[in-house]
Amino acid sequence: MSAIPPRARGAIALDASACTSCMICVRECPDWCIEIESHTIEVTEPGARRPRSVAVLDRFTIDWGLCMYCGICVDVCPFDALAWVPQHHYPGVVPQDLRHGIERLEEFDVSDS
Amino acid sequence: MSAGSPPGVVLDPWLSGVARLVEEGFDQLDLLTAVDLPRDGVIEIVIHLVRIEDHAHVFGHVRLPRADPVLESVTSILPAAAWHEREIHEMFGVEISGHPDLRPLLLQSTSGPPPLRKDTPLVARVETPWPGAVEETTGRRSRRAVTPPGVPPEWLGEGS
Ligand code: SF4
Ligand code: SF4
């Protein structure tokens, strides 16, 4: 069996620390299969005069049962928080298993690609 | 060939045009389908025929008025076209004259608007709340109107 090419579109990995909850991927996805919940906290940097609003990502879900692997979300993310990885083996027993949250999307190994 | 037309020959009238190609040896039906072109006010019927002996192939098409499209059945010369014509009938609302059996092929009921007409609302888009309607929490307002791209505004009900 031939090896899977490193740039294969197997899954989309999330780097939650890079995600700003900007909603761009959610809004551009033609299949409506990404969902985000977030909230804002105030952070005062040392030396800053006023606190800054920072978004905290609470939930990020991709529904692989709907996704058509078009890559638009990866392309539009301004913060490179999404990346293709070649892993493709993530079956589910019920449709709900194909909805991956932050933990599972972060597990995809980006160093592989 | 006008701009935007698919490659191939115009077959108008349809049945005799297809019959002529079949007589030229293009008797293998590969594809028979339709394209809804609302801006032009037409349903375009597309056929792709293959001549096995020399691997030649040809596209043929005809444009029908969208308001009252009637297509002559080619099942008398290409029996395999029967399913394709039933599909065009139920999906695009095209009447097929001379078809032996126009029962719905894939749909349970053909009482609603034809699903593959471009102005037929996609039920999933009307009934599913758009996940992008959630406010972003960056503190900055989105610069553009926050509606789902590619979805006609009249489809968007209260759920979206
Ligand atoms: S690959 Fe396409 S369909 Fe899948 S989540 Fe990204 S934008 Fe949506
Ligand atoms: S576009 Fe990128 S930064 Fe914005 S919400 Fe999506 S993954 Fe996060």
Query: What is the pLDDT, as a whole number, of residue A73?
Result: 98
Query: What is the pLDDT, as a whole number, of residue B157?
Result: 61
DSSP A2: P
Q: pLDDT band at residue B2, thresholds of 50, 70 and 90?
A: very low
**Coil vs helix vs strand at A38:** strand
| Bond into B13 cis (ω within 30) | yes
Q: pLDDT band at residue B139, thresholds of 50, 70 and 90?
A: very low
DSSP A31: T
Q: How far apart are the first and last CA of chain B?
A: 42
A30–chain B Cβ distance below 8 A for any pair: yes
Q: Which residues in chain A touch residue B149, judged by CB atoms under 8 angstroms apart?
A: 27-28, 30
Question: What percent helix, strand, coil does chain A show, rounded to 5?
Answer: 20, 30, 50
- Tell me the whole-structure pTM to 2 decimals: 0.70
Q: Do residues B74 and B81 lie in contact, with contact meaning Cβ atoms separated by under 8 Å?
A: yes
Tell which one of A12, A23, A24 to mutate to probe ligand 2, the residue whose CB is within 8 A of the most ligand atoms: A24
> For residues B110 and B18, which has the higher predicted lDDT (pLDDT)?
B18
Determine how many CB atoms are found less than 10 A away from the CB of residue B23: 10
Give B3's contacts (C-beta < 8 A, 6+ positions apart). Answer: none
Q: What is the token pair recorded at A74?
A: 């990866």
Q: In whole angstroms, what is the distance from residue B100 CA to residue B159 CA?
A: 43
pLDDT at B158 over 70: no
Residue B150 phi/psi, 5° resolution? 85, 0
Query: What is the pLDDT, as a whole number, of residue B25?
Result: 97
Nearest CB to B138; choose among A21, A35, A37: A21
CATH of segment(s) A11-112: 3.30.70.3270
Query: What is the pLDDT, as a whole number, of residue B160?
Result: 44
CA of B140: which chain A residue's CA is closest? A22
Each residue's pLDDT, cut to its tens digit, for chain A (113 residues) gives 578 888 899 999 999 999 999 999 999 999 999 999 999 999 998 888 899 888 999 999 999 999 999 999 999 999 999 999 999 999 999 999 999 999 999 999 887 55
Least confident of A8-12, B126-130, B132-136: B132-136
Nearest CB to A23; choose among B134, B148, B150: B134
pLDDT at B159 over 70: no
Closest CA to ligand 2's atom 6: A25
Question: Among B146, B107, B148, which residue's Cα sits nearest to residue B124?
Answer: B148
Query: What is the pLDDT, as a whole number, of residue B112?
Result: 86
pLDDT digits (tens, 9 = 90+) for B66-124: 999 999 999 999 999 999 999 999 999 999 999 999 999 999 888 889 999 998 988 88
> For residues B133 and A101, which has the higher predicted lDDT (pLDDT)?
A101
pLDDT digits (tens, 9 = 90+) for B45-63: 999 999 999 999 999 999 9
| Per-position DSSP letters for chain B, written without gaps between them | --TTPPSSEE-SSHHHHHHHHHHTT--EEEEEEEEEEGGGTEEEEEEEEEETTTTEEEEEEEEEETTS-EEE--TTT-TTHHHHHHHHHHHH--EEET-S----SS-S---S--TTSTTS--HHHHHSPPGGGSPPSSSSPPSS--S-TTS-GGG--S--
Q: pLDDT band at residue B144, thresholds of 50, 70 and 90?
A: low
Q: Which residues in chain A touch residue B150, judged by CB atoms under 8 angstroms apart?
A: 30
pLDDT at B43 over 90: yes
Question: Among A28, A36, A108, which residue's Cα sits nearest to residue A74?
Answer: A28
Domains of chain B: 9-97 (3.30.460.80), 123-134+142-159 (no CATH)
Q: In whole angstroms, what is the distance from residue B9 CA to residue B2 CA?
A: 11
pLDDT digits (tens, 9 = 90+) for B3-14: 466 679 999 999
DSSP A12: E
Q: pLDDT band at residue B125, thresholds of 50, 70 and 90?
A: confident
Mean pLDDT of the B30-53 span: 97
A40 and B146: CB-CB below 8 Å? Answer: no
pLDDT at B149 over 90: no
Determine how many CB atoms are found less than 10 A away from the CB of residue B69: 21
- ipTM, two decimals: 0.82
